[in-house]
């Protein structure tokens, strides 16, 4: 009986295992069926998509066939046009060959010119210093040339008018020639008259000398006569006890002293009326006249140079003002942006005190850190002043980037938070500019790429130590 039960159990166990296996098989078949159905659906979708693509391709093929027909027609037209242009092409080919020959000749000529240019370039390099010295002269001459060109244009425009006035001008020239001839005759006459006057002056001087000699002679005679009269008076008194008053009735009228004195006075008056006569006056006048003409020409040249310089200064001032205003506006906008970045808010501005005279105007810096009022930079704290100045420096660097910049402890007055903001901004800016920063602040050192330190291991011996932080950061 026990064996029968065991046999029954084994049989049922076998049946149960068979049922379990059958169920598992059925489950697998259902899963495969579901997968097959999903694949069928996916294939159906693909078939629908492919049908749509085939339809699109058929439409495109039809369009391509139409386009091909149009292209064949165009090709046929082009072939006809090509046949018609074959003769022109041959002519153009011949012309091209001729051009090639001319190009070859030009290249040979250019080669020779190049050699000449190299020699000229060498001479120019040797004369570069002279050219540099003459730059200013060339600039002035260029300015003068531009003025002359403008005058030439004006003269060209007025050429027709001048032609119409040519007859009148010719008559005027004839009249002027006649006037010049008359003036030459008059000048010649005046020269002759001047010669006569000079001759007359010489004669007057000779007469003056003769008169002076005569006066001297008369004075000698007067002195001699006075001495003789005094001697005679003494002799008359000694010998005859008579004086001239007593013998007045017996005097000789031909040797009257009164007449002689009168003649002397007349001669002196004539001599005085002639005045001072300078015999070198004509030569001195000629020299002075030449000197006057020379100085007048120099004055005119200086006035022309002054006008040119004033014009150049005016142009340079205008260019300087324009360039300054453009750069000022750029720096102003960059300053506003950098200030907000460094202060993490707020606002700032730079203002000209005299906008009408920008080149000579003072610049006021206004700043408003977060949580404070807008004030001039002079009313800010030391740290705020320093950070505002740093913002202005970075604004200038953003306007005019430079490949290399040295900063010497510009963040010394900042607190730790502002030092980190400064160093972070500096790190971003270092993508465009290389900075060499001298600092004692740890916050700045944390953002640098390489540290350089100076140490003295031995007395009097300084040693430089470098540390590349990027290696350690990696």
pLDDT tens by residue, 341-392? 888 899 999 999 888 888 888 899 999 998 888 888 888 888 889 999 999 9
**pLDDT tens per residue, range 14-70:** 666 666 766 676 677 777 767 767 766 676 676 677 667 777 767 777 776 776 677
**pLDDT tens per residue, range 229-275:** 677 667 656 654 555 566 555 454 455 667 767 776 777 777 677 66
Residue 12, pLDDT > 70, answer: no
The CATH class given to the 402-474 domain equals alpha beta
pTM: 0.39
pLDDT > 70: what percent of the chain? Answer: 49
Cα–Cα–Cα angle for 292, 297, 301, rounded to 5 degrees: 145
Q: Which residue has the tokens 């030439």?
A: 152
Distances 291 to 287, 288, 380 between C-alpha atoms, Å: 6, 5, 68
Tokens of 282: 């004509």
Cα–Cα–Cα angle for 421, 422, 428, rounded to 5 degrees: 90
Residue 304, pLDDT > 60, answer: yes
Residue 396, pLDDT > 90, answer: yes
Q: What is the pLDDT of residue 220?
A: 76
**pLDDT tens per residue, range 204-231:** 667 666 666 766 776 676 677 667 667 7
Residue 297, pLDDT > 80, answer: yes
Q: What is the pLDDT of residue 265?
A: 77
Higher pLDDT, 406 or 120: 406
Q: What is the pLDDT of residue 390?
A: 92
Q: What is the pLDDT of residue 38?
A: 72
Q: By CB neighbour count within 10 A (0-12 exposed, 13-18 middle, 19+ buried), where does 319 fall?
A: exposed
CA atoms of 274 and 49, how far apart (whole Å): 137
CA atoms of 423 and 435, how far apart (whole Å): 11
Q: At a CB cut-off of 8 Å and minimum separation 6, what does 268 contact?
A: 215
Is there a shared CATH topology between the 308-400 domain and the 402-474 domain? yes
Q: Give residue limits of the domains in the chain.
A: 1-82, 169-279, 308-400, 402-474
Q: What is the pLDDT of residue 432?
A: 86
Average model confidence (pLDDT) for the chain? 73
Q: By CB neighbour count within 10 A (0-12 exposed, 13-18 middle, 19+ buried), where does 471 fall?
A: exposed
In CATH, which superfamily holds the domain spanning 308-400? P-loop containing nucleotide triphosphate hydrolases (3.40.50.300)
**pLDDT tens per residue, range 191-200:** 565 566 566 6
Q: By CB neighbour count within 10 A (0-12 exposed, 13-18 middle, 19+ buried), where does 343 fall?
A: buried
């Amino acid at each position: 009986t026990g064996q029968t039960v065991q046999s029954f159990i084994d049989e049922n166990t076998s049946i149960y295992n068979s049922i379990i296996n059958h169920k598992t098989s059925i489950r697998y078949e259902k899963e495969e069926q579901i997968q097959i159905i999903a694949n069928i659906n996916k294939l159906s979708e693909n078939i629908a998509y492919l049908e749509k693509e085939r339809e699109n391709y058929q439409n495109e093929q039809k369009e391509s066939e139409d386009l091909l027909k149009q292209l064949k027609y165009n090709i046929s037209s082009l072939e006809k046009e090509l046949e018609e242009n074959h003769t022109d092409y041959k002519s153009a080919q011949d012309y091209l060959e001729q051009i090639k020959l001319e190009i070859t000749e030009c290249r040979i000529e250019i080669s020779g010119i190049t050699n000449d240019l190299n020699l000229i370039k060498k001479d120019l390099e040797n004369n570069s210093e002279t050219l540099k010295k003459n730059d200013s002269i060339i600039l002035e001459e260029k300015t003068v040339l531009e003025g002359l060109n403008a005058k030439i244009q004006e003269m060209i425009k007025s050429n027709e008018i001048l032609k119409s006035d040519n007859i009148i001008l010719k008559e005027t020239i004839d009249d002027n020639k006649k006037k010049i001839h008359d003036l030459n005759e008059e000048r010649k006459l005046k020269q002759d008259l001047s010669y006569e006057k000079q001759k007359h002056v010489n004669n007057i001087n000779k007469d003056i000398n003769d008169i002076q000699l005569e006066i001297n002679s008369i004075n000698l005679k007067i002195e001699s006569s006075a001495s003789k009269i005094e001697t005679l008076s003494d002799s008359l008194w000694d010998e005859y006890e008579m004086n001239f008053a007593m013998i007045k009735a017996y005097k000789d009228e031909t040797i009257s002293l009164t007449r002689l004195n009168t003649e002397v006075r007349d001669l002196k008056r004539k001599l005085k009326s002639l005045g001072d006569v300078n015999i070198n006056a004509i030569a001195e006048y000629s020299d002075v006249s030449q000197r006057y003409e020379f100085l007048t020409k120099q004055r005119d040249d200086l006035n022309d140079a002054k006008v040119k310089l004033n014009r150049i200064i005016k142009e340079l001032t205008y260019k300087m003002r324009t360039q300054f205003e453009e750069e000022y506006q750029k720096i102003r906008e960059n300053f506003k942006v950098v200030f907000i970045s460094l202060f993490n808010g707020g606002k700032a501005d730079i203002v000209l005190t005299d906008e009408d005279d920008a080149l000579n105007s003072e610049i006021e810096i206004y700043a408003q850190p977060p949580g404070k009022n807008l004030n001039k930079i002079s009313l800010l704290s030391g740290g705020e002043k320093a950070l505002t100045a740093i913002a202005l420096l970075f604004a200038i660097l953003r306007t005019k980037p430079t490949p290399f910049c040295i900063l010497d402890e510009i963040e010394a007055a900042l607190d730790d938070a502002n030092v980190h903001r400064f160093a972070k901004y500096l790190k971003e800016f270092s993508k465009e500019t290389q900075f060499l920063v001298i600092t004692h602040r740890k916050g700045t050192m944390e953002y640098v790429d390489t540290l350089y330190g100076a140490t003295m291991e031995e007395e009097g011996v300084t040693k430089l130590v470098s540390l590349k932080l990027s290696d350690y950061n990696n």
